[in-house]
């Protein structure tokens, strides 16, 4: 940031990445029809995601699989469901500063936990280094 005041901010970048998604350069009005349709699509998509994740959890619990990978998938699914519910309940809380901040902090925590569960699941599925017992078994066979 080079300088700023109440109405303008001037930034200077040394790379060529695209910030078009993050900031709006020109002022324009979005038509009410588009805003409403995007809100409806967002809520429908979140509900479909919650339904699919609930089905995943039900199948995992019904099969009673006892493995680290399945526990990770179960916890990942629960964390994503909670994040989706918090998003759906908090999407209209932008007018209230404290509620908006609480929802933002909670979503940040939940998506960090989702990322961590996802990383752990990837590490379980595709381990970098095989333990020595696996190497010995591979050599003998």
pLDDT averaged per 10 residues, the chain (length 141): 72 54 64 84 92 93 82 90 92 83 91 88 73 47 42
> Does this model's pTM top 0.75?
no
**Domains of the chain: which residue ranges?**
37-127
Which residue is associated with the tokens 């939940």? 110
pLDDT at 139: 45
Q: Which residue, among 111, 114, 81, 86, has the nearest Cα to 100 in the 3D structure?
A: 86
Which residue is associated with the tokens 């910030």? 19
CA separation, residue 57 to residues 63, 82, 94, 107 (Å): 10, 13, 31, 21
Q: Are 129 and 123 in contact (CB under 8 A)?
A: no
């Amino acid at each position: 940031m080079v300088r700023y005041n109440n109405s303008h901010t001037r930034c200077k970048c040394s790379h060529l990445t695209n910030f078009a998604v993050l900031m709006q350069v020109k002022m324009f009005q979005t038509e009410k029809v588009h805003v409403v349709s995007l809100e409806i699509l967002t809520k429908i998509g979140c509900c479909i995601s919650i339904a699919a994740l609930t089905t995943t959890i039900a199948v995992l619990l019904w099969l009673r699989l006892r493995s680290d990978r399945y526990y990770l998938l179960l916890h990942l699914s629960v964390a994503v469901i909670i994040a989706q519910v918090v998003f759906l309940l908090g999407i209209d809380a932008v007018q209230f500063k404290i509620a908006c901040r609480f929802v933002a902090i909670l979503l940040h925590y939940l998506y960090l936990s989702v990322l961590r569960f996802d990383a752990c699941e990837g590490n379980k599925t595709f381990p970098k280094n095989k333990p020595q017992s696996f190497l010995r078994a591979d050599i003998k066979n």
